[in-house]
Structure 1
Amino acid sequence: MATVEQCREALQILTGRLGEMNPQARASYFGNRSISCHVTDLGVTFITRIADDGAEPVREMAPDEPPADIGLAAKSDDVLSLAATPANIARMWMAGRVKVHASMRDLLALRRLL
């Protein structure tokens, strides 16, 4: 089982991919959206906000915060695996290892991130 810090770092790597995107494309796909990831075996949820200028640092979500626009849920080892090989998200989702809660528009945007 991975640690809380390892998961936070892995998620920071994933959101860091936004820095590689064209700023106009990033703005059109994400605008101002929040993304959370609940790490089920650690009982912690991380959140970040994606804005026109990139992503905010990944941080633990406060209990009283509203739900994110895009929500992921996975075990800690799967979070690390997803960061190492983002292209496997569809396979992990089909196997039930990653759960995604989002609108269709946000699912398409998430695909660009990963």
Structure 2
Amino acid sequence: MATMAECRSALDRLSDRLAEADGAVRGAAAVDRSLSCHIKDLDVTFTGRLTDGRIQVLDTVEGPPREKAAIRLAMSGGDLVAMVDGELDFARAWASGRVRLEAGFRDLLRLRSLL
């Protein structure tokens, strides 16, 4: 089980990678959308924005997200850290139900290149 600090660090590393990306990945991340990432085993949610190709974490709240973000993720802290570290494939984790991703159809189409 990952700690809250490890999860926050993983989101920061993911943000750095998105900012350094090019091509289709950079294009998919170049949106301005609200974002939430609920860490189920810690029962905390990181909220913020995906903007200018970066994830900006603005707040951390206890429990599930209080407001519905445009892009919503839910997973365990260990799965978040493992995905960012390259030890867990996002598409497989999503297909098996370990990771939940909810977004509008247009956003899902854009985000598919990130998967």
Same fold (TM over 0.5): yes
CA RMSD of aligned residues (A): 2.9
How big is the shift at 1:91? 0.4
Which structure 2 residue ranges, 5 or more long, are not aligned?
A: none
The percent identity for this pair of structures is 39
Secondary structure in 2 matching 1:7: helix
Which structure 1 residue ranges, 5 or more long, are not aligned?
A: none
Equivalent residues of 2:12, 2:55 under 8 A apart: no
AA aligned opposite 1:104: F
Aligned to 2:86: 85
Aligned to 2:107: 106
TM-score, normalized by length of structure 2?
0.77
* CA distance 1:109–1:2, change in 2 (3 Å): same
Aligned to 1:48: 48
How big is the shift at 1:98? 0.2
| More strand per residue | 2
**Alignment: residue pair count:** 113
For 2:78 and 2:62, the matched residues in 1 are separated by 23
Structure 1 runs of 4+ with >6 Å offset: none
For 2:76 and 2:88, the matched residues in 1 are separated by 17
For 2:47 and 2:87, the matched residues in 1 are separated by 18
Instruction: Tell me the alpha carbon deviations over residues 69-113 of structure 1, each in whole angstroms, 9 at most, x when there is no partner.
Output: 100100111011111128711100111110111112212333344
